Chains A and B, each alone.
Chain A
Amino acid sequence: MTSRTVKVGMLARVEGEGAMLVDVRDGNVEDVQLRIFEPPRFFEGFLRGRDYRELPDITARICGICPVAYQLSACLAIEDACGVEVSEEIRLMRRLLYCGEWIESHALHIFFLHAPDFLGFDGAIEMAREHRGVVEAALRIKRAGNELMGVVGGRSVHPINVKVGGFHRMPTGQELRAVRPALIAARDEVLELLPLLAGFEFPEFEQPHLYLALGAENGYPLETGSLVSSDGLQTSVSAFGDHVREQHVEHSNALHAQFDGHRYMVGPLARYSLHSRALSTLATQAALAVGLGEVCRNPFKSILVRAVELVFALDEAVRIIDGWQGTAAAAVPVTMLGGQGHGATEAPRGLLYHRYRFDADGSILDAQIVPPTSQNQPSIEDDLRIFVQDRLDLAHDELTRQCETVIRNYDPCISCATHFLDLRIERR
């Protein structure tokens, strides 16, 4: 019997600490483990007993890359429990803030974390020496996102302007218009970088994962929407728990989620494949320019889908700013009488679900937070299993390198998911 193990002890260019192990015996991949050893963070536990109004600011601290996702999913869950619906202007301002987060997060992942895999560099620093113009442009694109977050959110990381029911203060039309030139310039720079991304070599690799995303009732999904899946399900966010079950697996500090007993995928590929027709004209043209069809099933092409979503986020931000009226109040009143609420938004990495139960005095009785990476873990492991099985003839170093790319296709946020990377492929 021949067997081997491919492993990476500490995965690079992902958010947080984890490892990967693939066990191969007699030419068959026997076991794949995405090991998340970043310690558990117990957020759901220590939220118990806290006041509901603290939720947006506490949950924002789960992630430095996607704090807006946590803030807004929390707000939606509270507002659901209180039977409150925010005004159209508040929804649009939330969407604008969310565009800022998508711009920051997607620019970071496309150009600093994922592109080095396709260009053959160990990281962004090595890439900067040979592709200085690309890295310079990426920094400017990311900075446009920072500026937008600063104006709407009060600062570029961990925004402080979000509250239950809306915002502490609405930015003025003048403040919003001041960001417009940076957004337009960034949008043009992304469009110019599309041929570079489209020219990358993508492995022939397609996966039949079930896709889950929010619905496109208010346009391409970010800040609102029902639940929609690629097998035709359409239901409300409150039904999330009827379909999704989380379970603990021994090799990971992140829970693994299943949808009706099956692995599933959230994130850019799911959103795009379910809703490509809801993109703006410019983003649709960008998708055509990089050779994407209406559906994308190759996880390696997630870098192209992220670029299309980056064009969309910049375009959408300009659209919201140009149409801004600024007549509604910054927040709507919220009266808490206890009960249960569900909230979900589209974090850059995929659907982020929150559920809370509140006491009559507004204190939190229990909390459930299901981040995108927990939902994607079984799909990542399945991608690894199938990818490695067909490439056992590759040299060890090359196979290991490509396995890391398989994981980075998902832009996993281990810090968010722990309750979760280092890659080991064992060949015995």
Chain B
Amino acid sequence: MKALVVGLGSSHRGDDASGPEVVAEVAALRLPDVEVMVMADPAALLDLPRSVDLLVLVDAMRSGAAPGQVAVLTEGELPPGTAANTHELGLADVIELARALDRVPPRLVIVAIEAAHFDHGMPMSSAVQEAVPAAVRTVVEVLGAAGG
């Protein structure tokens, strides 16, 4: 089974860096049959390689929970996209379009880290920084459960 772990976000926008940060640590584990990738724009999901069996998306989230809290979501649990304008095609919209075009594998899991801020040019908040190891463990568990 081949798995792809994608870190969504920008390293220059506070807690938005958590996705890229988590996948960098997953990459360092050198897990067999696991590839990692960073995407600043979720629209890049439309260009994914087709030979992947499991897709894990790691992204920062704002749900009102305590910053640093890690959650495992399915695509059905994402808030619906508005598709209102082309400047900000949301994750739910991109996944829906990618599904319609068979660009994402049937198995897709989202590991979401509750963010405190997305300030330009600022580092991650300490709560999110401290949550990175837990998020990495969650990704590894998702991969293990799926591969098991």
Which of A's residues lie within 8 Å of B, judged by CB? 10-17, 64-65, 108, 112-113, 123-125, 128-129, 132, 135-136, 139, 143, 415
Whole-angstrom CA separation of A180 from B85 in the bound complex: 31
Whole-angstrom CA separation of A377 from B46 in the bound complex: 34
Whole-angstrom CA separation of A17 from B83 in the bound complex: 12
Residue-wise, chain B 52-88 has the 8 Å CB interface mask toward A (1 for contact) of 0000000000000000000000000000001111110
Indicate if B39 sits at the interface (CB-CB under 8 A).
no
User: Which residue of the partner chain, among A17, A125, A132, contacts B96 with CB atoms under 8 Å?
Assistant: A125
Contacts of A108 in B (CB 8 A): 86
Whole-angstrom CA separation of A112 from B100 in the bound complex: 14
Known A-B contacts A125-B93, A125-B96, A139-B46; A132 and B84 likewise in contact (beta carbons under 8 Å) = no
> B87 and A15: CB pair below 8 A?
yes
> A13 and B96: CB pair below 8 A?
no
Contacts of B46 in A (CB 8 A): 139
Whole-angstrom CA separation of A17 from B97 in the bound complex: 22
Known A-B contacts A125-B93, A128-B97; A16 and B83 likewise in contact (beta carbons under 8 Å) = no
30 A-B pairs with CB atoms under 8 Å apart are A11-B84, A12-B82, A12-B83, A12-B84, A12-B85, A13-B83, A13-B84, A13-B86, A14-B85, A15-B85, A15-B86, A16-B85, A17-B84, A64-B87, A65-B87, A108-B86, A112-B86, A113-B86, A123-B83, A125-B83, A125-B93, A125-B96, A125-B97, A125-B100, A128-B100, A132-B101, A135-B97, A135-B100, A135-B101, A143-B47
Whole-angstrom CA separation of A143 from B46 in the bound complex: 11
Whole-angstrom CA separation of A125 from B84 in the bound complex: 12
Residue-wise, chain B 82-118 has the 8 Å CB interface mask toward A (1 for contact) of 1111110000010011001100000000000000000
Q: Which residue of A lies closest to B102 (CB)?
A: A132
In whole Å, how far is A159's beta carbon from the nearest beta carbon of chain B? 15
Number of A-B contacts (CB under 8 A): 46
What would 18 more interface pairs be, CB under 8 Å, given A12-B85, A15-B87, A125-B93? A13-B83, A13-B85, A14-B85, A15-B86, A16-B87, A17-B85, A65-B86, A65-B87, A112-B86, A113-B86, A123-B83, A124-B83, A125-B83, A125-B97, A128-B100, A128-B101, A135-B100, A136-B101
Contacts of A129 in B (CB 8 A): 100
| Most central of B86, B93, B101 by chain A CB within 10 Å | B86
Closest 3 A/B residue pairs (Cβ):
A128-B100, A125-B97, A129-B100
| Most central of B47, B83, B85, B87 by chain A CB within 10 Å | B85
Contacts of A124 in B (CB 8 A): 83, 97
Whole-angstrom CA separation of A342 from B88 in the bound complex: 32
Which of B's residues lie within 8 Å of A, judged by CB? 46-47, 82-87, 93, 96-97, 100-101
| Most central of A15, A108, A139 by chain B CB within 10 Å | A139
Whole-angstrom CA separation of A112 from B46 in the bound complex: 14
> A10 and B84: CB pair below 8 A?
yes
Whole-angstrom CA separation of A65 from B100 in the bound complex: 24
Whole-angstrom CA separation of A139 from B83 in the bound complex: 17
In whole Å, how far is A105's beta carbon from the nearest beta carbon of chain B? 10
Q: Which residue of A lies closest to B82 (CB)?
A: A12
Q: Which residue of B lies closest to A124 (CB)?
A: B97
Whole-angstrom CA separation of A135 from B100 in the bound complex: 10
Whole-angstrom CA separation of A224 from B100 in the bound complex: 41
| Most central of A16, A125, A136, A139 by chain B CB within 10 Å | A125
Q: Which residue of A lies closest to B41 (CB)?
A: A157
Contacts of A135 in B (CB 8 A): 97, 100-101
Q: Which residue of A lies closest to B40 (CB)?
A: A157
Q: Which residue of A lies closest to B97 (CB)?
A: A125
In whole Å, how far is B71's beta carbon from the nearest beta carbon of chain A? 25
Whole-angstrom CA separation of A15 from B47 in the bound complex: 23
Contacts of A12 in B (CB 8 A): 82-85
Whole-angstrom CA separation of A10 from B83 in the bound complex: 11
Contacts of B93 in A (CB 8 A): 125
In whole Å, how far is B80's beta carbon from the nearest beta carbon of chain A? 11
Whole-angstrom CA separation of A103 from B10 in the bound complex: 26
Contacts of B84 in A (CB 8 A): 10-13, 17
Whole-angstrom CA separation of A97 from B68 in the bound complex: 43
Whole-angstrom CA separation of A367 from B28 in the bound complex: 49
In whole Å, how far is A61's beta carbon from the nearest beta carbon of chain B? 12
Whole-angstrom CA separation of A143 from B103 in the bound complex: 15
Known A-B contacts A125-B93, A139-B46; A132 and B100 likewise in contact (beta carbons under 8 Å) = yes
Contacts of B47 in A (CB 8 A): 143
Whole-angstrom CA separation of A135 from B93 in the bound complex: 15
